[in-house]
Amino acid sequence: MEAIFKKNALPSRLESRLLFAVPKKGRLQQATLDLLAGSDIQFRRDHRLDIALVKNHPIALVFLPAADIPTFVGEGRVDLGITGQDQIFEHEATTPPEEETWAEEVLDLAFGYCRLQVQVPEKGAYAHPRDLIGRHICTSFVGLTKRYFARLEAQEKGVTNGDLSDNGTQLKTKIKHLSGSVEAACALGVADGIVDLVESGDTMKAAGLEAIDTVVESRAVLIKSKHPSNPKLVDMVASRIRGVIAAQQFVLCQYNIPRHLIPTATKITPGKRAPTITALDNADWLAVSSMVEKKRIATVMDELSDCGATDILVLDIANSR
């Protein structure tokens, strides 16, 4: 796979295309595909292939493990990528980026929220992270976990600046890599504690575990290489995705309001930049259109009704720029 992505060794069908890495499976994949569909990036993927050519733009989608995407984008093997910040942080912890080879975060994609947390058996012997110093820890995030415990051990030794890894001191805490089912490690006697991703917390609770600290918080992001092959196309893709996200977060609220109540109403619906106000045949009334956050719309409608607005409508937004 890596040989394919050496820019001077690309197959001819990919040479003129922007390479866009997306998760091939896992918790981020479906939301990513929905985002691409909303951005009118049209493709058909053969289930046996990890490359799909976009029909309506000179783009090739490359389906990769989310953990590998920061590496491919950072080294300039692909131009754009969607992955979780947890994977970026882990990449940084294991292979510190060089200024000219690291990727830039372009956009927060507003999905994939999770936390990388230190977890221990409920009602067990470990109530604080420092209780795990010198114990066995299992994780899929070895780099971040080593950095976390290096700092914890440094604090125990009274080192306030940096961590033990700065001077090459060996960790007392034993950290073991697991590629999956990390939550089972404590029950099976493999680990005293784990460091694993938590979304809803249901899996953690089902495994009889509780979180005692958060290592990092994460969400899905769009990243680009420092030197993309087609910067204009990168900007277009980012703009489209930004529009889809705005459309997902906002609705269009329309209503009629007596002219003298406009100052009160527009404080309730200020819009993203400003509301659109239109005159009606009745000179004493005005029509207002304004974008409102979806999560606030019920409260906004109540407040508008209370202040004298009528004919309040809420419309979905397909896209926005």
- pLDDT digit string (tens) for 173-222? 999 999 888 999 999 999 999 999 999 989 899 999 999 999 999 999 99
Is residue 120 over pLDDT 60?
yes
- Calpha distance 294→247 (Å, rounded): 10
- Calpha distance 161→74 (Å, rounded): 29
Say what the pTM is: 0.82
DSSP 129: G
Provide the pLDDT for residue 269: 97
Q: Average pLDDT for residues 290-301, to the nearest whole number?
A: 96
Alpha helices (H) in 46-117, listed in sequence order: 69-74, 85-94
Would you say 124 and 147 are in contact if contact means Cβ atoms under 8 Å apart? no
Q: Residue 47: which pLDDT band, with cuts at 50, 70 and 90?
A: confident
Provide the pLDDT for residue 3: 46
Q: How far is CA 169 from the centre of its chain?
A: 34
Query: Residues with Cβ < 8 Å from 17, sequence gap 6 or more?
Result: 53, 54, 58, 59, 60
Tell me which of 79 and 100 has the higher pLDDT.
79
Provide the pLDDT for residue 252: 96
Q: How far is CA 250 from CA 246, 264, 292, 316, in A?
A: 6, 21, 5, 8
Tell me the three state secondary structure of residue 221.
strand
Is residue 73 over pLDDT 50?
yes
Outline where DSSP puts E strands in 97-235: 104-108, 114-121, 136-139, 174-177, 193-198, 209-218, 220-224
Query: How many CB atoms lie under 10 A from the CB of residue 189?
Result: 8
Is residue 76 over pLDDT 50?
yes
Structure-token pair, residue 53: 């050519």
Lowest mean pLDDT among 33-42, 153-162, 189-198, 308-317: 153-162
Q: Which residues pair with 286 in a beta bridge?
A: 257, 279
Q: Which residues pair with 138 in a beta bridge?
A: 176, 194
Provide the pLDDT for residue 193: 96
Would you say 294 and 240 are in contact if contact means Cβ atoms under 8 Å apart? no
pLDDT in tens, 130-169: 999 999 999 999 999 999 999 999 888 876 665 655 555 6
Lowest mean pLDDT among 36-50, 54-68, 183-197, 244-258: 36-50
Provide the pLDDT for residue 184: 94
- Calpha distance 71→68 (Å, rounded): 5
Provide the pLDDT for residue 163: 60
Is residue 274 over pLDDT 70?
yes
Q: Average pLDDT for residues 11-33, to the nearest whole number?
A: 89
Provide the pLDDT for residue 14: 78
**Amino acid identity, residue 211?**
A
Is residue 97 over pLDDT 90?
no
Provide the pLDDT for residue 98: 65
Tell me the three state secondary structure of residue 146.
helix
Tell me which of 319 and 67 has the higher pLDDT.
67
Q: Which residues pair with 279 in a beta bridge?
A: 286
Provide the pLDDT for residue 169: 67
- What is the chain's length? 321
- Calpha distance 23→81 (Å, rounded): 9
Maximum mean pLDDT: which of 120-124, 170-174, 219-223: 219-223
Provide the pLDDT for residue 158: 73
For the chain, the average pLDDT equals 90
**CA nearest 34: which of 96, 82, 75?**
82
Would you say 89 and 214 are in contact if contact means Cβ atoms under 8 Å apart? no
Provide the pLDDT for residue 100: 61
- Calpha distance 72→102 (Å, rounded): 10
Would you say 174 and 136 are in contact if contact means Cβ atoms under 8 Å apart? yes
Q: Is 273 exposed, middle or buried (0-12, 13-18, 19+ CB in 10 A)?
A: exposed
Q: Average pLDDT for residues 302-308, to the nearest whole number?
A: 97
- Calpha distance 154→150 (Å, rounded): 6
Is residue 29 over pLDDT 90?
yes
